[in-house]
């Protein structure tokens, strides 16, 4: 039974050690692009491990193509973070200052003193951002040291581009798998036609690599979708058994997967390469943040589809009502009146649904905007001198417009900036690093 259904059994440590000694290490697009999102120290740890693995690194051609398709946008986003954060701080400062100025005549407290304290606090925050920009200088697209280092490490290790004659065959294979929901790739079915086959093409290349070499493969990816990973109660516990089964059937060898932080931790231990725990934590944070954004994008796409559907119903009901009124005018007609009332009900229902979807879209965008304002601070916290403090906190989940408690309050580790955010708001706030809503217990 184990022989026929090996992919459904946990991988034993001895097998993992054997794979670490013999396997190809294949890296996904997101792992390469995330090198631009890490601090320099974390990036150096990753480069050091890639160098240690050396000739056993392989990059599917599809991964390399996707990397160059997305590289410039990722660099631009990273270069813009410092400026965006500084602009947000100055905007918040000006608004708070203006609000306090308007209270000068009415307040019974010293507004001038408050404004002076406000100015000092904001200037200190802006200075921290300026220091951050110095520590993380912009990346020059045409003179990119990260790309140069990566190119040296991956020289001769990118898989060949499929021949022109082979491409239609691969795309037909990928299309059939997507239609039949065969992993991986079916989770990308909503992407544009040119992009929906990306994961399937990567998997095709992995199978070809294993078949030609008769060697196992360890695939490193920060993709968290269900067409790659087996989940139990929402937690990733390993690669999908179907993938392990297929790789074994095609190649006679074993297939295993790591998320980028797991790879950094386990491979560094196996190859006896020094890696800072802060690097592992930062890799985890970057992956989780991007996964949150991807889920938000997915949710927003569905909300916009729903919005268009309700808007179409609203237009249709409005057109029907106008035609009815144009036909009967002020003429009394009981049947027409009944039809008009039914149409008006449809109008009201469509309008309420449209308003609710608009509210959900606005709320999702507001949460994203607030989180993006925290993003670089969270990244910086994970890679510098700041320590953590345990405080009694309550976690919440959101349903509609309301927040509800999740379990009992417990001691949670927060960074100073996170504690300040919770104390300043006096309520419930999204804590990006922890991926949830929190409030200080008792508040």
- 10-residue mean pLDDT profile of the chain (443 residues): values are 71 85 96 93 93 95 95 84 68 73 63 75 73 71 91 96 93 90 79 77 96 96 90 86 94 95 93 90 88 73 77 80 73 72 80 77 67 48 50 79 78 75 76 77 68
**231 and 103, same structural domain?**
yes
- Cα separation of 45 and 127, whole Å? 29
Tell me if 376 sits within 8 A of 289, measured CB to CB: no
- Cα separation of 307 and 302, whole Å? 9
**301 and 163, same structural domain?**
no
Model pLDDT, residue 417? 64
Model pLDDT, residue 107? 52
**341 and 199, same structural domain?**
no
Q: Would 382 be classed as within a structural domain?
A: no
Strand partners, 25: 57, 218
Q: Which of 275, 292, 313 is the last residue of a domain?
A: 275
Model pLDDT, residue 372? 56
**51 and 33, same structural domain?**
yes
Q: Which of 219, 250, 275 is the last residue of a domain?
A: 275
Q: Would 66 be classed as within a structural domain?
A: yes
- Which residues span the domain enclosing 31? 6-275
The kind and range of the H/E element at 232 are strand 229-232
Among residues 143, 147, 155, 97, the alpha carbon closest in space to that of 122 is found at 97
Q: Would 381 be classed as within a structural domain?
A: no
Q: Which of 209, 240, 275 is the last residue of a domain?
A: 275
**166 and 289, same structural domain?**
no
Among residues 178, 217, 218, 180, the alpha carbon closest in space to that of 199 is found at 178
Q: Would 1 be classed as within a structural domain?
A: no
Model pLDDT, residue 325? 72
Q: Would 384 be classed as within a structural domain?
A: no
pLDDT digits (tens, 9 = 90+) for 341-395: 888 887 788 778 877 777 777 777 666 666 555 544 444 444 443 346 778 888 8
Model pLDDT, residue 250? 95
**295 and 180, same structural domain?**
no
**204 and 266, same structural domain?**
yes
**151 and 58, same structural domain?**
yes
pLDDT digits (tens, 9 = 90+) for 120-134: 777 777 777 677 666
Total domains, the chain: 3
CB neighbours of 148 closer than 8 A, spacing ≥ 6?
Answer: none
**52 and 15, same structural domain?**
yes
**139 and 242, same structural domain?**
yes
Question: What does the angle CA 23 – CA 26 – CA 29 come to, to the nearest 5 degrees?
Answer: 170
- Cα separation of 441 and 443, whole Å? 6
**349 and 228, same structural domain?**
no
Model pLDDT, residue 221? 96
**95 and 232, same structural domain?**
yes
User: pTM above 0.75?
Assistant: no
Model pLDDT, residue 234? 77
Q: Would 226 be classed as within a structural domain?
A: yes
Q: Would 383 be classed as within a structural domain?
A: no
Q: Would 313 be classed as within a structural domain?
A: yes
């Amino acid at each position: 039974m184990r022989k026929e259904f090996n992919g459904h059994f946990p991988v034993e440590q001895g097998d993992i050690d054997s794979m670490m000694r013999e396997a190809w290490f294949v890296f996904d697009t997101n792992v390469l692009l995330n090198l631009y999102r890490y601090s320099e120290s974390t990036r150096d740890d990753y480069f050091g491990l890639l160098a240690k693995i050396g000739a056993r690194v392989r990059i599917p051609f599809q991964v390399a193509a996707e990397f160059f398709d997305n590289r410039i946008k990722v660099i631009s986003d990273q270069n813009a973070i410092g400026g965006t954060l500084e602009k947000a701080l100055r905007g918040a400062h000006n608004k708070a200052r203006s609000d306090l100025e308007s209270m000068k005549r009415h307040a019974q407290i010293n507004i001038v003193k408050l404004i002076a304290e406000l100015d000092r606090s904001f200037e200190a925050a802006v200075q921290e951002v300026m220091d951050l920009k110095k520590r993380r200088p912009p990346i020059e697209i045409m003179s990119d040291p990260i790309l140069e280092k990566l190119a040296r490490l991956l020289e001769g290790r990118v898989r060949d581009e499929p021949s022109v004659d082979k491409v239609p065959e691969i795309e037909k294979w990928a299309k059939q798998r997507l239609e039949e929901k065969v992993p991986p790739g079916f989770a990308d079915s909503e992407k544009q036609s040119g992009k929906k086959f990306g994961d399937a093409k990567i998997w095709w290349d992995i199978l070809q690599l294993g078949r030609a070499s008769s060697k196992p493969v360890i695939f490193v990816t920060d993709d968290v979708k269900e067409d790659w990973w087996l989940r139990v109660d929402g937690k990733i516990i390993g690669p999908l058994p179907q993938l392990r089964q297929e790789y074994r059937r095609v190649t006679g060898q074993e297939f295993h997967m790591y998320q980028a932080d797991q790879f950094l931790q386990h491979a560094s231990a196996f190859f006896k390469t020094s890696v800072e725990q802060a690097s592992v934590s930062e890799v985890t944070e970057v992956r989780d943040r991007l996964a949150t954004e991807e889920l938000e994008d997915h949710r927003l796409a569905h909300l916009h589809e729903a919005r268009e559907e309700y808007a179409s119903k609203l237009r249709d009901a409005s057109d029907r009502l106008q035609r009815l009124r144009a036909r009967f005018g002020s003429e009394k007609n009981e049947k027409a009146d009944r039809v008009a009332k039914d149409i008006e009900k449809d109008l009201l229902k469509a309008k309420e649904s449209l308003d609710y979807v608009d509210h959900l879209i606005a709320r999702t965008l507001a949460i994203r905007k607030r989180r993006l304002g925290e993003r670089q601070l969270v990244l910086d916290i994970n890679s510098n001198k700041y320590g953590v403090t345990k405080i009694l906190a309550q976690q919440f989940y959101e349903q509609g417009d309301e927040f509800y408690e999740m379990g009992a309050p417990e001691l949670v580790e927060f960074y100073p900036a996170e504690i300040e955010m919770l104390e300043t708001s006096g309520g419930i706030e999204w804590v990006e690093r922890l991926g949830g809503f929190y409030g200080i217990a008792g508040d």
